[in-house]
Amino acid sequence: MTRQPNRQPQKAVGTPQSRVDGRLKVTGQATYAADHDVTGVAYGVMVDATVGRGRITGVDTRAALDQPGVRAVLHHGNAPRLPYVDNPGSNNPPGERLRVFQDDRVRFFGQPVAVVVADTLEAAQHAASLVTVTYAAEPPSTDLTTAPADEPQRYARGDAEAAWAAAPVKLDLAFRFSRNHHNPMEPHATIARWEGDTLTLWDKTQWVVGGTQQELASVFGIPQQSVRVISPFVGGAFGSGLRAWPHVTVAALAARVTGRPVKLVLSRRQLYFGTGHRPAYTYALKLGSDRRGRLAASIQDIRAETSSYETFTEAVMGPGHMMYRTPNVRQAYATVPLDVNTPIWMRGPGYATGAHVVECAMDELAHELGVDPIELRLRNEPETDESSGLPFSSRRLRECLATGAREFGWHRRNPAPRSTRDGDWLVGTGMAAAVYDFGRAPAQAHARINADGTALVQAATSDMGPGTYTSMPQVAADALGLTMTTVEFRLGDSLMPPTPPHGGSMTMASVGSAVQDACDKVRRQAITLAVNDARSPLHRVNPDDVVVRDGRMHVKNDPTRGETYRQLLGRNQRDHLEVIGSWGPPEQSRYSMHAFGAVFTEVAVDDRLGLVRVRRMLGVYDAGRIINPKLADSQALGGMVGGIGQALLEHTVTDARDGRIVNANLADYLVPVNADIPDLRAIYLDGGNDQNADPIGVKGLGEVVIVGVAAAITNAVFHATGRRIRELPITAEALL
Amino acid sequence: MFPFTYTKAADTRAAVAAGQRGGRFIAGGTTLVDLMRETVERPDTVVDISGLPLGEITTTRSGGVRIGALVRMSDAAADRRVRNTFPVISQALELSASAQLRNMATIGGNIMQRTRCTYFRDVSAACNKRAPGSGCAALEGFNRSHAILGGSSQCVATHPSDVAVAFAALEASVHLLGPDGERGVPFTEFLLRPGNTPEREHALRPGELITAVEIPAHPRPLRSGYLKVRDRQSYEFALTSAAVALHLGGGVVRAAKVAAGGVGTVPWKLTAVEQRLLGERPSDRLWTAAAAVAADDAEPLAHNEFKVELLKRTVERQLRVVGGTR
């Protein structure tokens, strides 16, 4: 058992710092995956299947190979066989992953079936359009509602059927969710280079170690240490980078065969077919309560699409069994294999879907009973997490609701639908609670104090946008007793200490705690060196009485007695001090851990044209300690924008006849633009510091901020129009 | 992208000659380059006409406005004469695309832009417009954005331009220069319905170059405006749109010019609506009654049935916005 290090003053944590890499980003100097300058690079462009299911009967590459500069065209007929060793502990869902160019089977429209490698991008693109692939096509299965489902996952407590039958107030609701795509700004891209049996990958990924490094090592059957992954910048991902998709293997395979480093950048269109998506769902809910709105029964039947070859599941059942006190719950969650690419987590995974249903249903129940929606939620606040029996590490939902109601002006609202008109617009307000089961996982970090008094901290994590580059130095600076400007944080290289996936709202909690541990330890090492050094002013001082400020160690109650790191290391002729720190959650958790929030919004609906426009939105969050309020605002406002997209615009459309995604581009797959985004505001509850969760007291913010947004909008649309819309996105035609 | 030869036309005569040899004109390039990247368009020769002297806006002797083919969308929208005389044109332009695109795209190119039908833009899909005889994937496919007016069994793709809707409403004409000299074509005859030849989209003869769009004089005062209905507030093509221009005199509608966008295979002139308005006293009831006939000939598809009602409401709304009352 290590001693609890003495508490350092917190000077950087909690302050609104600007991104340390902001200048690099806005001046175009941040090197994203495709930006790395690799000598001798050739360009790979993939050819994708144009049928939704079937067999490849022929690949004619002659016209492509005739093009000047074309080095190779690889496909199942000529590609080397790959070992594809199992990769347990990765993010690959159960099943058999798509094996690129290993057989003639087409499993979904857009599946990579060949790759052209050429000296220039233009030659590769043109040659790719000249590859002729013929198919024996079969009708694909694309209908979530009619295709056969897998055996469902089940959860039950009490006797939900009996309780529902006996409940005085009953709701029976059916919700539908369209498929959504992440659409990060930066396309997925990989540069692969082999040197002997060693593979280097510059890759867009949210998990350099467990995602790309481990997966490519197992695909090629080589030791993990033979693969190095470099990913210093990620231009957004929202979950799409949580596993290595087939194109990463295609790049490595192409490099292996041609003996050249190969750069492969997916087109925007290819991102829709090849990098996962939030699955489409149907979600039926029966909710029973007494006349005061106390929930008695909840019965939920959930269907979600997955691919024919992998079974993707996510935590969609969570909100439906833990959010509100409900004695009797029954849930069934069935995946439906379709001829599609495998889904993956997308911001607020599972919860953005499940909580939407719960929060819309609560609004419907509140209206049914004539109870204020906030009051209804308060009446159903649970004492503990009823699904696990564990106490919450912290649950300040009541405060979120109260603060939100006050700041939004909720109680000025006339609860009657269609009660407010502004010209052609019907105006409504709505709210929803938010919840996310944030992750925590073992992480390591390396901390080093240099002879010049600066520090370098490293971990193989990622920064897809939340500001990891900035928040980690804040934690490190306080633990080291340095100013932020003297601490550098590096990430995104598999040679660095391993970290969990950069997703699931676990980076700050997990990596941040490891960073703090490493920095605490190296600070202790310096203090120990000083108190044992007869030449140090701190000689023989109790180490627990020493604190560090601005790089100078001193006796806590006698600031005049001390010396700097630099003086200590110089005198001792030490180039540096270094430590690998770590943190991991206990195997058996004593708490149920969730971030909470409350979202309030005002919308206007054109009475005749069916258009919905969001007028303002407020989110109040119980997310534990906020390391950097400025970055937190970026997260929160970004989450709200994502939620507005989910509510009103985002919809991946599949042509049922062949599985083609019809709107695989940013002109037809709509994400909000500036004009769609009104006044957004985020508030973080004062005094957040969840020490039950992790040593730095954070609960993760990135996911919870999208949860409940669509429900608040849907509920506001009802308040404006009197129309209940139970399908996302809400379209004009639904409101005409 | 397929390889192509790039040439720059020195003058209009040279451009026409190059066009006659099969050269494809390019000015702003905001549509053509996209389509070339998707290999939908595969021209052998691209003729850059951006240096030609077709960038003027002038007032005609009769009081109309002539907009040169190479005038940028943003410049046309901001032009004082256009803005004052025909606000419907400025509004249609400013509700199109994005600021960046409007700064590049030209008026001639705008009316020549090709449909946003996703099957047309996906070379792996059947499309009679792109590959005559291959079929129409949209008819039985996802057709929410497609036409309810003017379609055929071969094609139901909408014309995407906003300003073309204003031009159709205002009975503009397209000025052309060809090997045989100049000619003018009424706007409503310039763009062609698909019929059995959806690959033929316009009345241009080989080599012909658009030199200008001319909007004739209309009785003044002319009130006009453009309403664009779409899922998001900016940067999206219309679900439905309405260009309305009204001249009121003596308490009644003396002239009515109305066209709709997002609903037709070409910008859709609503003659029946116009007829219904003439000589009538403006009232909410009149707007409703006139708009009620806007979709009389509509033939909706599986996913765009809603456009029938939405079109009527769009026209009704814009009649009220332009004509007043309520």
pLDDT tens sequence across A550-605: 999 999 999 999 999 999 999 999 999 999 999 999 988 899 999 999 999 999 99
Instruction: Identify which of A125, A668, A731 has the shortest CB distance to residue B118.
Output: A668
User: Which of B229, B244, B155 lies closest to B192, judged by CA?
Assistant: B155
Separation CA A505–CA A460 (nearest Å):
16
CB atoms within 10 A of CB A588: 5
Looking at chain A, the whole-number percentage of residues with pLDDT higher than 90 is 98
Q: Which residues of chain B have pLDDT under 50?
A: none
Q: Which residue in the list A195, A703, A727, A733 is annotated as catalytic?
A: A703
- CB-nearest to A660 from B125, B140, B309 is B125
Which residues lie closer than 8 Å to A573 by C-beta, 6 or more apart? none
Longest distance between any two alpha carbons in chain B, whole Å: 62
Taking only Cα atoms into account, the Rg of chain B, rounded to an integer number of angstroms, comes to 19
Which residues does A7 contact at the CB level (< 8 Å), separation at least 6? Answer: none
Interface contact flag, B142 A675, Cβ < 8 Å: no
Query: Cβ separation of A609 and B231 shorter than 8 Å?
Result: no
Tell me, yes or no, whether B102 lies in a domain: no
Instruction: Mention every residue, 6+ apart, whose C-beta is less than 8 A from residue A409.
Output: none
pLDDT digits (tens, 9 = 90+) for A63-119: 999 999 999 999 999 999 999 999 998 999 999 999 999 999 999 999 999 999 999
Q: Is the pLDDT of residue A246 over 70?
A: yes
User: Per the CB < 8 Å rule, is B231 touching A613?
Assistant: no
Residue B309's domain comprises 223-323
Beta bridge partners of A598: A433, A620
Chain A with chain B: Cβ pairs closer than 8 A: 78
Q: What per-residue string of b and e applies to A207-218 under the rule 16 or more CB within 10 Å gives b?
A: bbbbbbbbbbbb
Chain A contacts of B1, Cβ < 8 Å? Answer: 122, 125-126
Question: Is B264 inside any structural domain?
Answer: yes
Chain B residues within 8 angstroms (CB to CB) of chain A: 1-3, 39, 116, 118-119, 121-125, 137, 140-142, 145, 229, 231-237, 239, 305-306, 309-310, 313-314, 316-317
Structure tokens at B222: 């002319």
* Tens of pLDDT, residues A311-368: 999 999 999 999 999 999 999 999 999 999 999 999 999 999 999 999 999 999 999 9
Asked if this assembly's ipTM is beyond 0.95, the reply is yes
Nearest to B242 by CA among B320, B154, B299: B320
Nearest Cα residue in chain A from B1: A126
Nearest Cα of chain B lies from the Cα of A459 at a distance, in angstroms, of 40
Determine the average pLDDT of the residues in A405-413. Answer: 97
DSSP code per residue over A400-415: HHHHHHHHHTGGGS--
Asked whether residue B230 is assigned to any structural domain, the reply reads yes
Distance CA B303, CA B146 (A): 9
* Contact assessment for residue A609 and residue A426, using Cβ atoms and an 8 Å cutoff: no
Mean pLDDT rounded to a whole number for chain A: 97
DSSP-derived letter for residue B207 is T
Element (H, E) at A625: none
Give the pLDDT score at B306: 98
CATH number at residue B295: 3.30.390.50
pLDDT digits (tens, 9 = 90+) for B34-79: 999 999 999 999 999 999 999 999 999 999 999 999 999 999 999 9
Between chains, do B316 and A608 touch, taking CB under 8 Å as contact?
Answer: yes
The DSSP symbol for A452 reads: T
Q: With a cut of 80, say whether residue A390 has pLDDT above it.
A: yes
Report the DSSP beta bridge partners of residue B242.
Answer: B227, B260
What pLDDT, on a 0 to 100 scale, did the predictor assign at position B255?
Answer: 98
Reply yes or no on whether A375 is catalytic. Answer: no
Is residue A9 predicted with pLDDT exceeding 90?
no
Does B154 map to a domain? no
**What CA–CA distance (Å, rounded) separates A304 from A144?**
7
Q: Provide the number of structural domains found in chain B.
A: 2
Inter-chain contact A613–B310, Cβ cutoff 8 Å?
Answer: no
Best residue in A111, A142, A422, A668 for a mutation probing chain B (most B CBs within 10 Å):
A668
What is the C-alpha to C-alpha distance for residues A89 and A210, in angstroms, rounded to an integer? 8
Q: Are A676 and B232 a contacting pair at CB < 8 A?
A: yes
**Torsion sign across C-alpha atoms A157, A161, A167, A172:** positive
At residue A89, the pLDDT reads: 87
CB contact under 8 A, B229 and A673: no
Element containing residue A579 per DSSP (H, E): strand A576-583
Contact list, B4 vs chain A (CB under 8 Å): none
Contact B310 A731 (CB under 8 A): no
Residue B287 lies in a domain: yes
A331: exposed, middle or buried (Cβ count in 10 Å: 0-12, 13-18, 19+): buried
With 80 as the cut, is the pLDDT of residue A380 above it?
A: yes
DSSP designation for A212: I
Is residue B40 in a domain?
yes
Which residues of chain B lie closer than 8 angstroms to A608, CB-CB?
A: 313, 316-317
Ordered by where they begin, the domains of chain A are 22-29+441-583 (3.30.365.10), 34-346 (3.30.365.10), 391-439+592-735 (3.30.365.10)
B234 to chain A: which residues are within 8 Å by CB?
A: 673-676
- pLDDT > 80? residue A164: yes
A139 band by pLDDT with thresholds 50, 70 and 90? very high
Find the helix or strand (DSSP H, E) in which A622 lies.
strand A612-622
Backbone phi, psi, residue A283, to 5°: -145, 105
Tell me, yes or no, whether B9 lies in a domain.
yes
Whether the predicted pLDDT of A4 surpasses 60: no
Three-class secondary structure of residue A258 per DSSP: helix
Tell me the pLDDT of chain B averaged across its residues.
97
> Hey, how many other C-beta atoms are within 10 angstroms of the C-beta on A60?
13
B193 part of a folded domain: no
